[in-house]
């Protein structure tokens, strides 16, 4: 059975989230709405809003590398824990390959800077953040190919950068969780050691809007809307895309043979049921997993850690699971 945590008061927004919204509004910032802005304007608004959320950079050893993706260069950002975390033996660190959220259309490794540094700090692993291509300039399945290219780079070249190619986890939030789960599926057929772990935060796992969470939260009271999710999927797949292709919607894939997974759902999120249904399917496939429902938090809570205590606790919990599986 999955290890499941269902906190009480599941219909109440954490007050610090509401305070954060008011604080951002006073600063003249609102979350980017791509349905009401030109795409370039929405992307710029997302970067500025997340710059506010991130605040001053947390200490970390950060460097950039480049590999070859399916159609050109692919940038990777390596974030190692602070030098004072006690790991001074020169040995290779385990690595978490991470994919940012944003509906495949918005955001970047810069918007997720604080989150990436927190994950490195609390997991004790290096984080390899993947600057994958955005839609609609590049559509599915291009991003799946870039994810696999990142994994192959870590396996073949990671040791030269202090990364242990035999202790690899994958992770992501929202659309990034889709890519992380897809990579875990692809890695089953890759040569070399198997993946050790997967961390999936409020994932975008299926092109399905007929769920209870979409009915409850899709109107936008807590941020993300069903209308916006339809727009993201359309930009990712294109008008001729096959929405029920398991490579695009990994909830529909064969989920056997996966590494242990940490599945975190936001309770006040139209995508909540994507994670709950994934946990059900993992149970049917007898794939080890832990489901955690953060009942009072909305979508994108992992980017709110500077202001929302429960969001930081959720990220620290997920990072602790990475540590438990990689630093044995």
The pLDDT of residue 268 is 97
Report which secondary-structure segment, H or E, holds 166: strand 163-173
pLDDT in tens, 244-286: 899 999 999 999 999 999 999 999 999 999 999 999 999 999 9
Report the alpha-carbon distance of residue 200 to residue 225 in Å, rounded.
20
pLDDT band, very low/low/confident/very high, at 8 (cuts 50, 70, 90): very low
Report the alpha-carbon distance of residue 176 to residue 302 in Å, rounded.
12
The percent of residues above 90 in pLDDT, for the chain, comes to 89
The number of domains in the chain is 1
pLDDT in tens, 72-92: 999 999 999 987 444 445 689
Residue 4, pLDDT above cutoff 80: no
| Angle at the Cα of 41 from the Cα atoms of 38 and 46, rounded to 5 degrees | 125
The percent of residues above 70 in pLDDT, for the chain, comes to 94
| Mean pLDDT computed over 288-309 | 98
- DSSP secondary structure of 253-271: S--TTPPPEEEEEEEE-TT
- Give me the residues paired with residue 268 across strands: 298
Domain of 149, CATH number, reads 3.40.50.1820
pLDDT in tens, 175-208: 999 999 999 999 998 888 899 999 999 999 999 9
Residues 6+ apart with CB under 8 A from 198: 169, 170, 171, 180, 181, 184, 258, 259, 260, 261, 262
pLDDT in tens, 124-167: 999 999 999 999 999 999 999 999 999 999 999 999 999 999 99
The pLDDT of residue 6 is 40
Just list the catalytic residues. 174, 269, 299
| Mean pLDDT computed over 96-125 | 98
Predicted TM-score (pTM) of this structure: 0.95
Q: Which residue has the tokens 């990579």?
A: 183
Containing domain of residue 60, as a range?
A: 3-326
> Which token pair is 192?
């070399």
Q: Considering only CA atoms, which of 256, 266, 301, 276 is closest in space to residue 4?
A: 276
- Give me the residues paired with residue 263 across strands: 200, 291
pLDDT band, very low/low/confident/very high, at 297 (cuts 50, 70, 90): very high
Answer whether 236's CB lies under 8 Å from 135's CB: yes
Q: Which residue has the tokens 């692993």?
A: 125
Per DSSP, the three-state class of 178 is helix
> Which token pair is 218?
């899709």
Report the alpha-carbon distance of residue 296 to residue 6 in Å, rounded.
11
């Amino acid at each position: 059975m999955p290890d499941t945590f269902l906190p009480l008061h599941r219909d109440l927004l954490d007050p610090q989230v509401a305070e954060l919204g008011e604080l951002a509004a006073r600063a003249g910032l609102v979350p980017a709405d791509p349905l009401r802005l030109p795409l370039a304007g929405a992307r710029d608004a997302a970067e500025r809003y997340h710059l506010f959320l991130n605040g001053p950079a947390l200490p970390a050893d950060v460097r950039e590398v480049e590999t070859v993706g399916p159609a050109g260069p692919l940038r990777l950002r390596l974030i190692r824990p602070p030098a004072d975390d006690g790991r001074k033996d020169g040995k290779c660190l385990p690595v978490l390959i991470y994919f940012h959220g944003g509906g495949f259309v918005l955001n970047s490794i810069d918007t997720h800077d604080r989150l990436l540094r927190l994950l490195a700090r609390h997991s004790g692993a290096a984080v390899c953040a993947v600057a994958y291509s955005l839609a609609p300039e590049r559509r599915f399945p291009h991003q799946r190919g870039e994810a696999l290219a990142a994994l192959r780079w870590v396996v073949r070249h990671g040791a030269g950068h202090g990364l242990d190619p035999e202790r690899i986890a994958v992770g992501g939030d929202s659309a990034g969780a889709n890519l992380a789960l897809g990579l875990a599926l692809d890695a089953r057929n890759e040569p070399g050691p198997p993946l050790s772990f997967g961390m999936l935060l409020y994932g975008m796992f299926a092109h399905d809007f007929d769920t209870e969470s979409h009915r409850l939260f899709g109107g936008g009271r807590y941020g993300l809307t069903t209308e916006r999710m339809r727009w993201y999927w359309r930009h990712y797949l294109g008008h001729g895309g096959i929405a029920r292709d398991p490579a695009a919607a990994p909830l529909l894939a064969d989920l056997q043979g996966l590494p242990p997974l940490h599945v975190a759902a936001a309770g006040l999120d139209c995508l909540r049921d994507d994670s709950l249904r994934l946990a059900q399917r993992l149970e049917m496939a007898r794939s080890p997993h832990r489901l955690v429902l953060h009942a009072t938090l909305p979508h994108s809570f992992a980017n709110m850690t500077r202001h929302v205590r429960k969001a930081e606790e959720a990220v620290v919990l997920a990072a602790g699971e990475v540590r438990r599986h990689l630093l044995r």
